[in-house]
Homo-oligomer: A and B are copies of this chain.
Amino acid sequence: MTAPFVARTATSAPAPGTHALLTERVHGESLAAPFYVSDDFFDLDLDEIFSKSWLFVATEAEISEPGDYVTIAFGSRSVIVARDDHGRVRAHHNVCRHRGARLLTEPNGSTGTIVCSYHSWTYGMDGRLEFADAQAPGFDKSCYSLRSVHVRTIAGLVFICLADEPPNDIDEVAGIVEPYLAPHRLAEAKVAKQTDLVENGNWKLAMENNRECYHCGGHPELLNVFFPTWGYSSTDAIPSRLAPVFDRYRRATAAQIEIWDRRGLPYPRIEQLDTRPTGFHIEREALDLAGESFTLDGTAACGRLLTDIPEAQLGRLSMHLQPNMWLHVTSDHALLFSVIPVAADKTLVRTTWLVHRDAEEGVDYDLDHLTGMWETTNRQDADLVALAHQGISSPAYVPGPYGPSEFQVEAFINWYVTTLRDRLGVPSSHVTDAASA
């Protein structure tokens, strides 16, 4: 049993007002300002959301060999994710058990043991204390293993949970999404590029931004292949200017289904965004133009496809999982995004591009061509998130209404509010509809 978390400050009780805001949240519209801008909610988000949910932190491709590790920080919580000598993925708090020094300081690397720079306490990759010099008789090394963190891999994706008791629906979720993901063999891929972009806005705004394409007019490059009809629930709701695109979308989908069926790739959309602790959504969709990849003409950016399936035109497999990840997989590469809160108004968005392990840069793919569209899209999103944060910071901000195509934003917010309420024991109010508020 690990010891309970130590509060980061001498006082950690949520400020008055937090509970009331949770109780009174109105369905159908954006959250009240303090959820996004106050330090109280930021601390609460770290303590109750990020410390108690399953978090996407890396791909197995980043730690393919024993001794490989990455470090990742959620607030002041730094975690080592490593492959141990037996090839198992392990996660440990990056804190020496002696006087607390940070152990590994690089974002990633490879090592035989974890040696503290301060007094040379030395741990195995499995976290056991192997060496501590000059201790009194009776000192018991077995009491000073690194504090471990729960870890779970799903089809090559590595998730951790900082809580002692992680949400227990992860196996169920894995059971649902693995058949979608496994055929793409992400565990065997290699990292082509990884970027860290700090967005000047709350992490929830970064997530909301990704949950709708109502703003896709701001992404001219992406719109070459991404159907802007995404998120519209019926033909009725589609703005008339999108009617021709919708026709194209229907034809592309029909053609794509034929291929998916032929190759046994599951494609029904599953939405369990706000109905379980580990809320998620998965879908397979056609892409526009050549339909193969995130490039300006839709053709594959990497000549060596991820798998042996001969068709390059597989559209995209897309998933997201609360609270901090989404991904897109095409025939030639995979794109993984993780959202890491830094401050109430600062969020790190990490993007990882995977290609086949044997794909060679300069031969099978041009790196700028492979990553260009989403690097541009990420920058555009960062600007939008910053504008949202700035405006919401004004006392003049009042929550506004979600339109029909923003239903997944609403689902994210529902999950978030429900999760906080459950973990804090806060009831919901009787009146929760925008219409009746």
> Contacts of A95 on B, CB cut-off 8 Å?
391-392, 394, 396-397
Q: A91-110 CB contact bits vs B (8 Å, 1 = yes)?
A: 00111111111110100000
Asked if B388 and A101 sit within 8 Å, CB to CB, the answer is yes
A118 adjacent to B388 (CB under 8 Å): yes
**A363 interface residue (CB < 8 Å to B):** no
Least CB distance, A24 to chain B, in whole angstroms: 12
Bitwise interface map of A from 154 to 177 toward B, beta carbon under 8 Å scored 1, else 0: 000000001000000000000000
- Contacts A3-B398, A99-B400 given; does A8 touch B38 at CB 8 Å: yes
| A134 lies within 8 A of B239 (CB) | yes
Q: Are B100 and A388 in contact (CB under 8 A)?
A: yes
Q: Please measure, in the bound complex, the distance between the C-alpha atom of A40 and the C-alpha atom of B12, giving whole angstroms.
A: 12
Cross-chain contact B237 with A101 (CB below 8 angstroms): no
| Interface window among A57-65, A186-194, A401-409 | A401-409
Q: In the complex, what distance in Å separates the CA atom of A260 from the CA atom of B395?
A: 46
A8 and B30 form a contact (CB under 8 A):
no
Identify the closest chain B residue to A383 (Cβ). B117
Confirm or deny: A120 has a beta carbon within 8 angstroms of a beta carbon on chain B: yes
- Among A76, A100, A102, A403, the one with the most B-chain Cβ atoms within 10 Å of its Cβ is A100
The answer to whether A6 touches B239 (Cβ under 8 A) is no
Complex: chain B residue closest to A29, CB-CB: B99
The reply on A32 being an interface residue by CB < 8 A is: yes
Picked from B5, B41, B388, the residue with its CB within 8 Å of the CB of A395 is B5
A250 interface contact, C-beta 8 A = no
- Asked if A97 and B404 make an inter-chain contact with CB atoms under 8 angstroms apart, the answer reads no
Task: List chain B residues, Cβ under 8 A from A238.
Answer: 134
Of all chain B residues, which has the CB nearest A47?
A: B395
In this complex, what residue of B is CB-closest to A40?
A: B10
> A400, B97: Cβ atoms under 8 Å?
yes
Asked if A423 CB lies within 8 Å of chain B CBs, one says no
Give chain A interface residues in 1-54, CB to chain B under 8 Å.
3, 5-12, 14-18, 21, 30, 32-34, 37-41, 51
Comparing A212-220, A289-297, A304-312, A364-372, the segment that makes contact with chain B is A212-220
Q: Which residues of B contact A76 (CB under 8 A)?
A: 37, 390, 393-395
Query: Does A144 lie at the interface of the complex (its beta carbon under 8 Å from any beta carbon of B)?
Result: yes
Q: Residue A9 contacts which of B9, B34, B97 (CB distance < 8 angstroms)?
A: B34
**B400 A6 Cβ-Cβ under 8 A:** no
Give min CB distance, A392 to chain B, whole Å: 4
Output the least CB separation between A52 and chain B (Å). 12
A388 → B minimal CB distance (Å) = 5
Contact partner of A396 (CB less than 8 A), chosen from B10, B93, B208, is B93
Of the candidates B100, B102, B103, B237, the one whose C-beta lies within 8 Å of that of A134 is B237
B8 near A98: Cβ-Cβ < 8 Å? no
Is B117 in contact with A384, judged by CB distance below 8 angstroms? yes
The answer to whether B232 and A51 have CB atoms under 8 Å apart is no
Q: How far is the CB of A407 from chain B (nearest CB, A)?
A: 11
Is the CB of A272 closer than 8 A to any CB of chain B?
no
Contact of A232 among B38, B101, B117, B134 (CB under 8 A): B134
4 additional contacts (CB under 8 A) given A9-B39, A99-B388: A76-B390, A99-B392, A134-B214, A136-B404
17 A-B contact pairs sorted by A residue (CB < 8 Å): A3-B398, A8-B37, A10-B18, A10-B40, A76-B395, A93-B394, A95-B396, A100-B392, A100-B399, A100-B400, A103-B391, A117-B218, A117-B384, A118-B388, A119-B217, A133-B239, A136-B404
Question: Which residues of A approach B to under 8 Å, CB–CB?
Answer: 3, 5-12, 14-18, 21, 30, 32-34, 37-41, 51, 76-78, 93-103, 105, 117-120, 132-136, 139, 144, 147, 162, 208, 214-215, 217-218, 232, 237-239, 383-384, 387-388, 390-401, 403-405
